[in-house]
Amino acid sequence: MTATAHHCDVLIIGSGAAGMTTALKLPGTTRIAMLCKDNMTEGSTYYAQGGVAAVLDEYDTVDSHTEDTLVAGAGLCHRDVVQYTIERSSDAIRWLIELGVRFDTEQQPDGSNSYHLTREGGHSHRRVIHAADATGREIAEALNSKVLQRDNVEVHERYTAVELITADRIGQPGTHCVGAYALNLATGAVEVFHAGAVVIATGGASKVYLYTSNPDTASGDGIALAWRAGCRVANMEFNQFHPTCLYHPEAQTFLVTEALRGEGAHLILPDGSRFMHRFDERGELAPRDIVARAIDHEMKRLGCDCVYLDISHKPAEFIKQHFPTIYMRCLELSIDITQVPIPIVPAAHYTCGGIMVDKQGQTDITNLYAVGEATFTGLHGANRMASNSLLECIVFASAAAADMARKRPGPAEVEIPAWDESQVTDSDEDVIISHNWDELRRFMWDYVGIVRTNKRLQRARRRVQLLQQEITEYYSNYRIGNDLLELRNLTLVAELIIRSAIARKESRGLHFTLDYPDTLADSEDTILVPPNFG
């Protein structure tokens, strides 16, 4: 049977803010194919609550936003990249507003309306523009609506990328990217996408941990794809754990936005006492790494399952107006946040490292771009400051689209062989996948979590090596499915995280190890180079 083949100028893998922005910023004459693992809006963007950090107020400045980002990044941010991003922040917000994103407004004393800006941890000013506590949903729906209106974009829902295709892999001269193999989840068939340029916009890898605020799609696919193709990755040891996720057996991955603390919510212990002042003079508004470690410390010290976030001292109408999503979700679980505190725990939230790219989103491989959380741009350093992530998506997707528009990529005119399934069979041992999946996420949580040690990291490395052997054997003998692909990708990403954590002989930002508790005077990015690099 002949495999289905698709031809496009640009293939975008992923449909979050980064992927959809790339599609909208490319010229209308560019033929675009977009792969979505689920539906178009199912990704981390849709679930982002807080907002977008940008210089929008007359009292705020690019220099102030830059310095706050550098401080939060614990000495590892690239200053030029930080400035590059923040200088473009107001333009990014104007573009979103022009698309129809409805950010919250407030009435001024003179009767005029202006956009409401909130403040989050690490920020010295109110500079986070938002749509109540569902900013990501508002942005995702606006972008989605515009993408669907574009005649040049062909959306393929329920497709997951299997491998990138480079010229040398198919016996052609050069190492440039010419497309990708993708699994059609509806039919189970692997299809070929010929493309002049490929954009990875797949998001992060927080699903590698047992507890995460991310949706099920955050399985590190793009990072694994790029590494196997020959791209370097950097700073994979810096995994941000959001300090406040709802602790409830029915809540699963429900995030409690940092904006609550920005509006005066207190972190308290089961006895009602506050504790953040003992860890940082900024209290609840300290950067996320400090807050997450403080909560983790108190939970272990007291042996309690959670701590609490209390905003009940604020007027009930204020809470309902500013945090309607959180209010309603908690109320569904019989928690009235206008009356009682919210039980919370930290959870894996954001991958600060990723595929190395330049300011145009170009990777180490010609014609392969990457944008959004899957990347390492140098913006976040050792700890991402709150609400800089959506900004990064818009700025770097715009730059990548502009670079591709200049180069005008056409479809790759090379012969790409169909995916070979002649040597594989259907599996009758899927229990192996579910068992290994659970084992991976549990040992990553226990050994490579908020607080690390050499012994824990070495233990994790041995476990991941055994899993990789089993997965390689399984992948070679059985037909692939989404669970196997995600497990294969996450296991590879876990290895990259562990290797990076072992390499860093200090504690900095999100990487805290009891064996090296001090921060070195000088530090560099952790760069890993794949065997097939160059």
HEC string for 488-520: HHHHHHHHHHHHHHHHCCCCECCECECCCCCCC
How many other CB atoms are found less than 10 A from the CB of residue 481? 17
Residue 140's nearest CA partner among 181, 111, 99 is: 99
Q: What's the pLDDT at 1?
A: 44
Residue 37's nearest CA partner among 20, 16, 10, 8 is: 16
Spatial distance between the Cα atoms of 44 and 46, rounded to a whole number of angstroms: 5
CA 306 to chain centre: 25
Find where tokens 């409690």 sit: 256
- Tens digit of pLDDT at every position of the chain (534 positions): 457 899 999 999 999 999 999 999 999 999 999 999 988 777 778 777 779 999 998 889 999 999 999 999 999 999 999 999 999 999 999 999 999 999 999 888 888 788 999 888 789 999 999 998 789 899 999 999 999 999 999 999 999 999 999 999 998 888 999 999 999 999 999 999 999 999 999 999 999 998 888 888 889 999 999 999 999 999 999 999 988 999 988 877 788 988 899 899 999 999 999 999 999 999 998 888 889 889 988 988 998 989 999 999 999 999 999 999 999 999 999 999 999 999 999 999 999 999 999 999 999 999 999 999 999 999 999 999 889 999 999 999 999 999 999 998 777 678 888 888 766 666 666 777 888 889 999 899 889 999 999 999 999 999 999 999 988 888 787 788 898 899 999 999 999 999 999 999 999 999 999 999 999 999 899 999 999 997
Task: Enumerate residues 6+ apart whose C-beta is below 8 A from 332.
Answer: none
Residue 403's nearest CA partner among 212, 165, 199 is: 199
Spatial distance between the Cα atoms of 505 and 498, rounded to a whole number of angstroms: 13
How many other CB atoms are found less than 10 A from the CB of residue 110? 5
Amino acid at 187: T
Q: What's the pLDDT at 427?
A: 62
Q: What's the pLDDT at 415?
A: 87
Between the alpha carbon of residue 18 and those of residues 73, 137, 499, the distances in Å are: 22, 14, 28
Q: What's the pLDDT at 425?
A: 63
Cα atoms in the 13 Å half-sphere on the side-chain side of 447: 25
Domains and CATH numbers, the chain: 5-237+352-407 (3.50.50.60), 242-348 (3.90.700.10), 431-518 (1.20.58.100)
Q: Are strands 177-184 and 190-200 parallel, antiparallel or unpaired?
A: antiparallel
HEC string for 300-359: HHHCCCCEEEECCCCCHHHHHHHCHHHHHHHHHCCCCCCCCCEEEEEEEEEECCEEECCC
Between the alpha carbon of residue 83 and those of residues 70, 79, 192, 286, 359, the distances in Å are: 10, 6, 39, 22, 11
Would you put residue 353 in left (φ > 0), alpha (ψ -120 to 50) or beta?
Answer: beta
- The sign of the CA dihedral 124, 125, 127, 133 is positive
Would you put residue 295 in left (φ > 0), alpha (ψ -120 to 50) or beta?
Answer: alpha
Task: Enumerate residues 6+ apart whose C-beta is below 8 A from 149.
Answer: none
Cα atoms in the 13 Å half-sphere on the side-chain side of 298: 24
Q: What's the pLDDT at 422?
A: 62
Catalytic residue selected from 288, 452, 504, 508? 288
Find where tokens 């991941």 sit: 464
Task: Specify which residues 12 forms β-bridges with.
Answer: 34, 199
Q: Give me 384's structure tokens.
A: 């991402």
For 201-223, give one letter per residue: b (16+ CB within 10 A) or e.
Answer: bbbbbbbbbbbbbbbebbbbbbb
- The H or E element that residue 157 is part of is strand 153-157
Spatial distance between the Cα atoms of 180 and 203, rounded to a whole number of angstroms: 17
* 456 counts as catalytic: no
Residue 496's nearest CA partner among 232, 166, 292, 289 is: 232
Residue 424's nearest CA partner among 490, 361, 479 is: 479
Sheet holding 266-268, edge to edge: 239-246, 342-351, 307-310, 266-268
Q: What would the DSSP string read from start to end of 72-135?
A: HTTT-S-HHHHHHHHHTHHHHHHHHHHHT----EEE-TTS-EEE-EE--TT-SS--EE-STT-H
DSSP 212: B
